[in-house]
A and B are shown apart, each in its own frame.
Chain A
C-alpha cells in the first residue's frame, strides 16, 4: 500500500518535469516526428487486422443471436456500430496497444537507464524526462484518435464483409443500421477516452522504464509491469469516464 502511494507521488513529480517547456523546440519537433512513426504509424497493421476481424465477429454474433423475429434486421448494423464506437475501438484496441507500445516504450527507456544513457543526458544539462517522454506523450495524444477512427471504420467494414459473405443479413439493412440513431456525441466521447488512454499508456510505461534499475532482466521485468499497470489504468479510467459521461 505504501509503495503504491509513494509510486503515485513519484509519478506525479515525474509528470511535472515531463511537462516543462522543451529546451529546444526544433529538437522537440524532430523527436515528435520520430515518435509519431514509432508509436503511431507502426501500429496501423495490427490495429487494422484486429479491427476487421473483431468487427466481423461482433456482427456475426449479433446476427446469429437474434432469434426474436420482432427485431428488425438493421439492428445488427446498429449494435455493431454502437459496440465498436463505444467500447471495442477505444478500449480494446487501446488495451492491445498497451501491450505493443507499452512494452517497447518501457524497455527502450529502461535500456537507456541501465546503459547510463539517461545519466549522459542529465550530465549534459538536458532535462531527460522532458526530452525522452514529452514527445512520446504528444505523439500518442495526437495520433491515438486517428488510429481509433480508422479502427472504427475498419471494424464496421469487417462487419459488412462477414455478413455479406455469410448471407446472414443484406447489405442495405446493415448499412441502414449503421446509420440509424447516430449521435456524434458518442464519437467525441470515444475519442476523448482514447486521448486519456494514450496518455496513460505512455506515461505509465515511461515511468517503469525510467526508474528501472540493474540489468537486462530488470528491464524485462519493468516492461512487464509497464504493460500490466497501463492496462489496469486503462480499465479503471474507462470505468470512471463512462460513469461521468454516459450516465
Chain B
C-alpha cells in the first residue's frame, strides 16, 4: 500500500503538484488519469523518489521515502518495478539482456535459470523469440512491451506503469492491461498505472485518481467514473464521440 499525504512539487515558479493526497491499495490496479501535462508522470517520479518533493509524505507500507537515505532507498527500489513513459531501455544491450539485467544484478540465479525467466516474461508480453534484437531494431510498441517485461521480471511488490498502452494497437493494448491485472492479483502487488486510455480505465480501474491542474481532483472506481457528474471528469471521460454515444445508449 502506498499513501500520499499533502505532497507539493514545483519546478521553479511552476507548481506542478498541489497538495496531492491519495491512497494506492495493495493487490489492486490503481489508475492515475488526467489531461496531458497534468503532472501524472511527475507524481509517479516523486513517489519513487526520482524527484524530491517540496513537502508532504509518501508512505510505502508506512515508511516515508522522503526521510530515507540513499541506501534505504536503494533497498526499497529493489522491490519496485517501473515502466517509463519512454521505455528507457538500455540501448547498448539486447532485449534479452535488458530483461535479464536486474536478475544479474540482484539475484544469485544461474544463467539457464535466468534465461527461462526471461523467456517466460517475453512470452507474457507476446514477444517470444525476439530476445536477440536490440532496442533500436524494435518498433515503438515492442519497446514498450520489453520495458514491461523488464519491470515485472523481479516480481516487484510495487509496480509503476506510465502509459503502458500508448502506442499499442487495441488488441495488444488489452493484452497488456490483462497482464498488468493478472500480475497484480497473482502477486498481490501495489500497482499504479498512468493512462489516457478510457478502455483501460473501464477494463482494469480498481481505483481511479483523476488529476486536474496539478490537483487530485476526483477519486473513485470504474463504476463510479461513468456515473459521476463532476464536470471536469465528464469532460475527460466523454471527450470522444464514441464514449458520448455509449452514454446516450446507457440512458
Contacts and interface: CB of A to CB of B under 8 A. Distances in A.
Given A23-B105, A119-B84, A124 B78 contact: yes
12 contacts: A23-B105, A24-B104, A115-B88, A116-B84, A119-B45, A119-B84, A122-B50, A122-B77, A123-B50, A124-B78, A125-B78, A125-B80
Given A24-B104, A116-B86, 6 more contacts: A117-B88, A119-B84, A123-B80, A124-B105, A125-B80, A126-B105
B32 to A, nearest CB: 17
Interface size class on chain A is 10 to 19
A123 B154 CA distance: 12
Interface string A1-44: 00000000000000000000001100100000000000000000
B149 interface: no
B109 to A, nearest CB: 12
Contact of B88 (A23, A27, A119, A125): A119
A27 B105 contact: yes
Interface size class on chain B is 20 to 34
Interface string B92-112: 000000000110111000000
B90 interface: yes
B183 interface: no
Contacts of B90: 112, 117, 120
B74 A127 contact: yes
Given A125-B75, A125-B78, A127-B74, A119 B101 contact: no
Nearest to B147: A120
B104 A124 contact: no
A125 B106 contact: yes
B105 A24 contact: yes
Nearest to A24: B105
B151 to A, nearest CB: 9
Among B45, B76, B88, B106, the most chain A Cβ lie within 10 Å of the Cβ of B88
Contacts of A124: 77-78, 101-102, 105-106, 154
Contacts of A112: 90
Contacts of B154: 124
A117 B90 CA distance: 6
B82 interface: yes
Contacts of B53: none
A122 B105 CA distance: 12
Interface of A: 23-24, 27, 112, 115-117, 119-120, 122-127
Interface in B103-127: 104-106
Contacts of B106: 23-24, 124-125
* The 5 A-B residue pairs with the shortest CB-CB distance in the complex, in nearest-first order: A116-B88, A125-B78, A125-B77, A120-B88, A125-B74
A139 to B, nearest CB: 15
B182 interface: no
B208 interface: no
Among A117, A122, A125, the most chain B Cβ lie within 10 Å of the Cβ of A125
A125 B88 CA distance: 15
B89 interface: yes
Interface in B41-81: 45, 48, 50, 74-78, 80
A123 B106 CA distance: 13
Contacts of B101: 124
B203 interface: no
A68 B104 CA distance: 68
B137 interface: no
A102 B104 CA distance: 29
B82 A120 contact: yes
A27 B45 CA distance: 27
Nearest to A17: B70
B75 A123 contact: no
A119 B45 CA distance: 9
B206 to A, nearest CB: 23
B105 A123 contact: no
A5 B127 CA distance: 50
B91 interface: yes
A112 B135 CA distance: 13
